[in-house]
Amino acid sequence: MKKHPAIPWVAPFLAFILLLMLQRLIPIPAAVRFLLSCAAILIFSLHPLRGRPSSPLLSVLLGLAVFAIWVGPDVIAPAWRQNFLFNNSVVGHPAGNTPPESKNDPLFLFFRIAISVVAVPILEELFWRGWLMRWLIDPNNFERVPLGAYSPMAFWVVAALFASEHGSYWDVGLITGIIYNWWMIRTRSLWDCIIAHAVTNAALAAYVVLAGQWQYWL
């Protein structure tokens, strides 16, 4: 039986979401979540990950710029995140979920960072900008839509959904979604978006651990 064409783009993301849901019910070690996420990528998604970035240096710089945007509001106005727009029962609360005992656990930190820097950029870019932006343009045959194709509806729906994924940080999540969407349209390269996303997450992970800003790890 022929495999559905969306599986390589969607399966790792769905596996990751399932792990997050299970995490709320039973503790799943960060190492297990990382290894299972990577296994899903290797099993399902090697084909769409073929290729190389077209602008790797610019992608790195863009990722650093997005990191600055992500933490900027809280640095400039420390009470910003306590506004009711970002602290309510709908979007959640600006508080991290890292257990206190894990903050000094090198093994936990290694795999938690690996999830953020390696697994998440790949599986999210496959889903959001690799698949959903194209599927919204042509639900009947998204494969006919090239990477980086532009449609106002697809652009803004993906940006909004990407923002909703980030809870109390939906404002900077929206800006990030807009920037990553634009970068996909500009480069037409999945790997450029993966690199930018990975650099953002790496800089944010360093900020979380070194500055003790655990609220960013939701």
pLDDT at position 96 is 85
Q: Please, are residues 180 and 129 in contact by the beta-carbon 8 Å criterion?
A: yes
Residue 2 pLDDT > 70, yes or no?
Answer: no
Mean pLDDT of 50-64: 96
Q: Model confidence over 202-217: pLDDT tens digits?
A: 999 999 999 999 999 9
Question: Please, which residues bridge with residue 88 across strands?
Answer: 92
Q: Which residues contact 59 (CB under 8 A, 6 or more apart)?
A: 53, 183, 187, 192, 193, 195, 196, 199
pLDDT at position 1 is 53
